[in-house]
Amino acid sequence: MDNASHLPRRGFLKAIHHLLATSGLLAILGPILAFFWPSSLEEVPSGPISVGDEGSIPIGSSKTVRFGRYPAMIINTEKKGLVAYNAVCTHFACIVKWNPVSDMIECPCHAGFYNPLDGSVISGPPPAPLEKLIMSIESGKIYIGTTT
């Protein structure tokens, strides 16, 4: 067997070695760089944010939007009209959704149920009600924000 036939194989193995070493280095450096230069997304928006036109959420429907780093949920209830909550469950932070059939806000993780009218806990493990967001309608647009 001549030496020349081993060179392509050796070159190929060297290239694989470099590729794996580079990906390993990037896998380690990526999170470190992300720690020092975090995303500029605000934890919670400092002012009200627009979530759509006034008629964009018909009665009996809901919409989930990004609210800073967290999702917010707007529900147009038959009894109370538009209500908005932080959509993060107060138990272990799963994302809750409104179920129009049961008319409850449901957490899929541990069967937590909230009242869509005030965000209070109906049943399950959540220790506290959902955080209520303030809502206003200006010039035909719906705005949500926090009280603080």
In Å, how far are 12, 18, 35, 42, 136 from 145, measured between CA atoms?
A: 57, 50, 28, 13, 9
What does the block give as tokens for 77?
């209830």
**Residue 46 CB coordination number (10 Å):** 11
Name the amino acid, one letter, at 145. G
Stretch that binds ligand FES, among 57-65, 75-83, 108-116, 130-138 (CB under 6 A): 108-116
Stretch that binds ligand FES, among 9-17, 22-30, 52-60, 104-112 (CB under 6 A): 104-112
Stretch that binds ligand FES, among 11-19, 21-29, 73-81, 88-96 (CB under 6 A): 88-96
For residue 114, how far is the Cα from the chain centroid? 18
CB of 108 to ligand FES, least distance (A): 8
Which residues contribute to the site for ligand FES (CB under 6 A)?
89, 91-92, 94, 107, 109-110, 112, 124-126
